[in-house]
Chain A
């Protein structure tokens, strides 16, 4: 609608913007193609966050709120670390940020922290950028005295992230690649099955990654009755429990992933419903990304 119409219809309309606080990026490093490690100044979150929690952030003032799991923090420096894979418009825009840039908003830590105890032998499985989300929990599992095995899966060698970090917290660390270009040739589930078949006693499995991967891990561990936890990634808006956009079905009950989760018992999750619900805005996401890509293209031409 035109500004003219706006003014005509609403004589008292005042167009004054209030200033919003901005959050500074203190380090930014590309880990793999399209995957960036970003450290943001957010002292309260850095001080408070626990493994398994996430933040909601907006890149620009007209941006959407997106959830991202906290990969690490430095309470002294007052920074939180995020590992971001450029998928749609907002994550790509975030990935274009460099040191000294700011983002409009970041809020957290949100969600219920991971339930950590000494289970015995714990296997932490990360698929793709899910590895970054699994990392803090792997650290916490190690700290709690578990024998930690990590399986870090990627499509190919160039996409393997956090290899050294994972090795440092693991008693056994495995890399798998779908194309066999590095480490074990195959899926994370095949490696897990191999471990189970080798009669290794596994007490706990944490799996974080794409929905089909988490579902497949749940299917592998179910017959052996191995306690398995997944971190769900539904669409979120506020991230504080006020809208239910992130609702998931767990054990035939409706749960809000942002408050009750994001971690749930993998054997009780309705993955089909989660996967369907995540398709809600596909056409809009696609058009938004296309418009952004085109805009960036023009920007580069004009430089």
Chain B
């Protein structure tokens, strides 16, 4: 039963429990690549929205990197104005169907929700997702207004979350925006990294289509640094400013013996084959991937990428799918929701275990990983307790496939071909965090190429900051 948003008392609001997200049954979903979370029904969404007590000082907004007017859109949902809610979100966030699904809300908006102390926080992410899905489902996507043309041209390098949000803000301000993408599909990590079962690719395409309708031009199959350089874009193709949002896409390997055996993948390669190239549809799609059917697969790492990879392997038919992590579960950087999902899908968590070497057969196929058991010692610089090897605890974990998911560095192409952009020791681009300006005139950067691997929403926030600074710069301080 839904109460009336206008007459409901605070006491009544607080009495409503947090509404659970309906999901596919684990026994069914481990055999398909369809989305696990099914989304709120309008009734569930309204019920959840009614829990929001509409604080005078909505701290949740400050917890959101792009400052969505959370209290306002939730109020609209509570009142049943779902399209109004979607449009309210879009004033600040261009990709709500995506962010509602993949943001770590528990560390951002939901973390600071005032209900968190005594109750459970409002499911802001679930509601954002609901509003965006509702708008798309009802085919009534309203485009925001675009200001009069400024005559200025901006090139955005990379079509991931940072580039898309930057392009969105710039096109609305009246600039002529062209996005360059190296791959054949737009979306960056949203396309090649995050699996279909967490983020359906058609949703990514639809949200990007909105930008196309606003007038953003997209050029795929163009690797800046190879096909064209930053300098050429400015000098020969007359772009007035450039935003670099190329992400952190250089996979780290562990540097242990046997890493080049057959069956050892980087998470980037495994996920790119499955997500972007759709190798789960082989042979209808041409790209093959390791045949996981009935095999033992281990993913090394404890982040969201590791969860994505191990759950993907399970869906490809792995008999045993392990997460191997050198610390304990409490230190895993992956989202709690994803860990829960993984566990209910039968993923086994092998904690406090460190690989020393990969072992193969005569044909060079992987057969096992020599591992060492660890225990937790004193806290290290990161504040996490440092894993320390247990003496004489070596053993061999029999596996047929390994996925290395220990993080990514920066692709060196831009650095190599644009030497006047300053980079850090870790090859990330150095920027002024207030403007995202690089050391090179009229060149800005944001997202993982600046921070190293982080989140979708932080990249989007950086894209927004850069767009505002680019606008200010191009309009000679006369920007309004």
> Which residues does A use to contact B, with CB under 8 Å?
1, 5-6, 9-16, 18, 20-21, 44-45, 48, 58, 60, 62-65, 89-90, 104-110, 237-238, 240-245, 247, 249, 254, 259, 273, 276-277, 279-281, 283-285, 287-288, 291
Contacts and interface: CB of A to CB of B under 8 A. Distances in A.
Contact of A110 (B226, B250, B284): B226
Nearest to A11: B137
Name which of B260, B262, B277 has the most chain A CB atoms within 10 A of its CB.
B260
Nearest to B32: A1
11 contacts: A5-B32, A48-B226, A62-B284, A62-B286, A65-B184, A89-B286, A107-B182, A238-B182, A247-B253, A247-B260, A254-B259
Contact of B202 (A9, A16, A242, A283): A16
B27 to A, nearest CB: 13
Contact of A241 (B220, B250, B255, B284): B250
B288 A288 contact: yes
Interface stretch (B203-211, B300-308, B381-389, B452-460): B203-211
Given A62-B285, A64-B277, A107-B227, 18 more contacts: A1-B32, A5-B32, A9-B35, A16-B202, A16-B206, A18-B208, A44-B227, A62-B278, A63-B285, A107-B223, A108-B226, A240-B183, A240-B249, A242-B411, A243-B269, A276-B363, A276-B364, A288-B282
B54 interface: no
A15 B200 CA distance: 11
B412 A241 contact: yes
Nearest to A279: B262
A241 B133 contact: no
Contact of A242 (B222, B251, B364): B251
Contact of A44 (B202, B222, B266): B222
A92 to B, nearest CB: 12
Interface in B249-308: 249-251, 253, 255, 259-260, 262, 265-266, 268-269, 272-273, 277-278, 281-288, 291
Interface in B292-334: none
B286 A44 contact: no
Given A6-B34, A104-B184, A277 B262 contact: yes
Contact of B205 (A5, A16, A238, A241): A16
B223 A281 contact: no
Given A63-B286, A89-B286, A241-B411, A110 B35 contact: no
B24 interface: yes
A273 B227 contact: no
Contacts of A287: 283
A275 B324 CA distance: 29
B336 interface: no
Nearest to B33: A1
Nearest to A23: B221
B269 A245 contact: yes
B286 A244 contact: no
B3 interface: no
B260 A14 contact: no
A279 B285 CA distance: 20
Contacts of B182: 107, 238, 240
B227 A15 contact: no
B90 interface: no
B262 A20 contact: no
B473 interface: no
A90 B286 CA distance: 8
B287 to A, nearest CB: 4
Interface in B345-365: 363-364
Contacts of A6: 34
Contact of A105 (B31, B184, B268, B281): B184
Contact-residue bracket for chain B: 35 or more
A14 B202 contact: yes
Interface in B234-249: 249
Interface in B8-32: 24, 31-32
A240 B413 contact: yes
Given A64-B286, A249-B260, A242 B249 contact: yes
Nearest to B31: A1
Given A20-B220, A45-B227, A65-B277, A244 B253 contact: yes
Contacts of B222: 44, 107
B253 A14 contact: no
B143 interface: no
A243 B34 contact: no
A246 to B, nearest CB: 9
B227 A109 contact: yes
Contacts of A283: 291
B223 A243 contact: no
Contact of B38 (A9, A16, A240, A288): A9
Given A10-B200, A107-B221, A280-B262, A237 B272 contact: yes
A186 B27 CA distance: 61
A13 B223 contact: no
B39 interface: yes
A10 B272 contact: no
Contacts of A288: 282-283, 286, 288
Nearest to B139: A14
B228 A105 contact: no
B335 interface: no
B362 to A, nearest CB: 10
B62 interface: no
B341 interface: no
B136 interface: yes
Nearest to B259: A254
Contact of B253 (A5, A89, A254): A254
A21 B167 CA distance: 21
Contacts of B281: 62
